[in-house]
């Protein structure tokens, strides 16, 4: 057996082992098959983790498990729960769930954050769910599934929850710490790019799904979604996009400006621009910064949001070129030896102490704090195809998978170069394995990208200002 076949075989063996059944049907995959130690919640089916497994199943025309996952979670989201000050889960999809067997009967138990370490709410789950539903319909052609009452109700409940008026007059979502893949305190509260781009992607998915539905209320939701997505895209372009030209503007900002037409809308102090930003960007580079708020621009590079922005055509052509050029120029810092850093650069010293709360799992260049996450390889492969640039070749992917397999498929890697298996990494981490397989099937058959990518943003024209 050649090396590639050996790696694929081992990866599939683990992926199949991770499948969870409920009432005789496959409904998802556990987060990790780590041997020995207490599983914490790694024995559960995580919504965000399953998205990566689902890519692999859909690319291989195995629709059943994805359909079952979407069905059981559509039922779970509406289940009445009683936790303090929040009794209805409508529109909120669980971070994770598991099957409990009692007295010969099976039931599902979901965690919406009330059990999670740090009690973190999964703002991302419902957004991944919408993206997955669109992908399932694209792959299987099963359009009638979206019309089934529980699925239709779930789509609308998610939109009701995410489009509701809040305390702010901007199109982004206000997000607490720990609300997505970075689910520990990392200074992500506010308006983190990963969620805002995912929100844009989910709105696009919802628009496609609702467009299949002839009912009047679906048309109304479609209009609202298009309006919000247009404003959101314009807001991200105007406020988050950073290149040398924008950086020069920021460095010349005046403070405490009042009124609608001011340059320094968020009252950013030039002194807050980190020294690494200009040389790191180079003359051609550009990216969306990590977060914006009053007096705050977080210059950290968040991989998920930036790469996803290309896949879902949030970037315009020029931005895509600049972002890809940055990825190529900064290969060593972002992609490194094990793709991909969740966030760059790491928080260190007093900043790490204050922002993470001295989190020993998130020490500099480890875990979420500058550690490398191989599950993101699917996204790197997808961006390579969408942008038609060789950011990842099959040979590089196979080389990388050889390391992963030899290290027992760890959850993450440590170090600025991403070359040591993470100090607290779970082994046989399923989205690591699925990330490799999904990247492989994308690179092998680039047409697979059609299931998940979006064409040029049709909503930007609806927005003249935000």
Contact set with ligand GLC (CB under 6 A): 31, 46, 48-49, 181, 183
SS3 for 108?
A: strand
In the bound complex, what is the minimum distance in angstroms from residue 49's beta carbon to ligand GLC? Answer: 5
Question: Exposed e or buried b for every residue in 406-435, given b needs 16+ CB within 10 A?
Answer: ebbbbbbbbbbebebbbeebbbbbbbbbbb
Q: Which is nearer to ligand GLC, 18 or 322 (CB)?
A: 18
Q: Find, among 190, 403, 405, the residue nearest to 290 by Cα.
A: 190
Check if the beta carbon of residue 362 is closer than 8 Å to that of residue 423: no
Question: Exposed e or buried b for every residue in 63-92, given b needs 16+ CB within 10 A?
Answer: bebbbbbbbbbbebbeeeeeeeeeeebbbb
Q: Which is nearer to ligand GLC, 171 or 192 (CB)?
A: 192
In the bound complex, what is the minimum distance in angstroms from residue 326's beta carbon to ligand GLC? Answer: 24
Q: Which is nearer to ligand GLC, 428 or 459 (CB)?
A: 428
In the bound complex, what is the minimum distance in angstroms from residue 137's beta carbon to ligand GLC? Answer: 24
In the bound complex, what is the minimum distance in angstroms from residue 412's beta carbon to ligand GLC? Answer: 9
Q: CA 209, CA 133: separation in Å to the nearest integer?
A: 8
Q: Which is nearer to ligand GLC, 230 or 305 (CB)?
A: 305
Q: CA 92, CA 305: separation in Å to the nearest integer?
A: 21
In the bound complex, what is the minimum distance in angstroms from residue 250's beta carbon to ligand GLC? Answer: 31
Q: Which is nearer to ligand GLC, 49 or 196 (CB)?
A: 49
Q: Which is nearer to ligand GLC, 89 or 113 (CB)?
A: 113
In the bound complex, what is the minimum distance in angstroms from residue 191's beta carbon to ligand GLC? Answer: 19
Pairing state of beta strands 301-302 and 86-88?
Answer: unpaired
In the bound complex, what is the minimum distance in angstroms from residue 253's beta carbon to ligand GLC? Answer: 35
CB under 8 Å, gap of 24 or more: what pairs does 389-394 form?
Answer: 389/324, 389/328, 391/324, 391/327, 391/328, 391/335, 392/335, 392/339, 392/439, 392/443, 393/443, 394/440, 394/443, 394/444
Q: CA 460, CA 230: separation in Å to the nearest integer?
A: 5
Three-state secondary structure readout of 391-442 = CCCHHHHHHHHHHHHHCCCCCCEECCCCCEECCCCCCCEHHHHHHHHHHHHH
Pairing state of beta strands 96-102 and 105-111?
Answer: antiparallel
Q: Find, among 224, 222, 233, the residue nearest to 199 by Cα.
A: 233
Q: Which is nearer to ligand GLC, 123 or 181 (CB)?
A: 181
In the bound complex, what is the minimum distance in angstroms from residue 360's beta carbon to ligand GLC? Answer: 15
In the bound complex, what is the minimum distance in angstroms from residue 367's beta carbon to ligand GLC? Answer: 8
In the bound complex, what is the minimum distance in angstroms from residue 66's beta carbon to ligand GLC? Answer: 18
Question: Exposed e or buried b for every residue in 315-340, given b needs 16+ CB within 10 A?
Answer: beeebbebbbbbbebbeebbbbbbbb
Q: Which is nearer to ligand GLC, 33 or 135 (CB)?
A: 33
Q: Which is nearer to ligand GLC, 375 or 454 (CB)?
A: 375
Q: Which is nearer to ligand GLC, 181 or 225 (CB)?
A: 181
């Amino acid at each position: 057996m050649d090396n590639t076949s050996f790696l694929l075989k081992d990866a599939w063996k683990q992926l199949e082992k991770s499948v969870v059944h409920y009432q005789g049907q496959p409904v998802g995959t556990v987060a990790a098959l780590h041997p020995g130690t207490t599983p914490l919640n790694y024995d559960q089916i995580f919504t965000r983790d399953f998205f990566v497994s689902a890519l692999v199943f859909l690319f291989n025309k195995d629709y059943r498990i994805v359909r079952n996952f979407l069905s059981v979670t559509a039922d779970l989201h509406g289940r009445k729960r009683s936790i303090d000050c929040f009794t209805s889960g409508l529109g909120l999809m669980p971070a994770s769930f598991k099957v409990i067997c009692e007295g010969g009967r099976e039931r599902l138990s979901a965690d919406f954050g009330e059990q999670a370490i740090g009690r973190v709410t999964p703002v991302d789950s419902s957004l991944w769910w919408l993206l997955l539903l669109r992908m399932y319909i694209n792959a299987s052609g099963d359009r009638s599934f979206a019309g089934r009452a529980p699925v239709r109700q779930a789509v609308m409940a998610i939109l009701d929850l995410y489009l509701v008026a809040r305390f702010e007059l901007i199109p982004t979502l206000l997000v607490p710490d720990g609300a997505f893949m970075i689910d520990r305190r990392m200074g992500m509260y506010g308006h983190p790019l990963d969620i805002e781009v995912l929100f844009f992607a989910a709105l696009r998915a919802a628009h496609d799904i609702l467009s299949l539905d002839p009912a009047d209320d679906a048309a109304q939701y479609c209009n609202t979604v298009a309006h919000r997505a247009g404003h959101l895209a314009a807001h991200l372009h105007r406020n988050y996009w950073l290149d040398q030209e924008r950086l020069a503007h920021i460095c010349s900002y005046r403070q405490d400006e009042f009124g609608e037409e001011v340059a320094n809308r968020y009252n950013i102090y030039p002194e807050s621009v980190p020294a690494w930003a200009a040389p790191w960007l180079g003359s051609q580079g550009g990216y969306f910064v990590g977060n914006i708020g009053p007096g705050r621009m977080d210059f950290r590079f968040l991989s998920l949001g930036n790469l996803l922005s290309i896949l879902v055509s949030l970037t315009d052509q020029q931005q895509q070129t600049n972002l890809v050029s940055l990825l190529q120029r900064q290969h060593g810092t972002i992609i490194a030896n094990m793709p991909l850093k969740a966030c760059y650069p790491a928080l260190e010293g007093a900043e790490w102490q204050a922002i993470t709360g001295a989190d020993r799992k998130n020490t500099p260049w480890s875990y979420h704090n500058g550690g490398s996450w191989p599950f993101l390889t699917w996204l790197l492969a997808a961006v390579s195809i969408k942008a038609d640039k060789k950011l990842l070749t099959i040979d590089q992917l196979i080389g990388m998978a050889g390391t992963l397999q030899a290290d027992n498929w760890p959850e993450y890697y440590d170090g600025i170069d991403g070359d040591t298996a993470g100090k607290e990494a779970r082994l046989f981490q399923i989205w690591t394995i699925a990330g490799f397989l999904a990247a492989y099937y994308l690179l092998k058959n680039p047409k697979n990208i059609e299931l998940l990518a979006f064409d040029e943003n049709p909503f930007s024209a609806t927005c003249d200002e935000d």
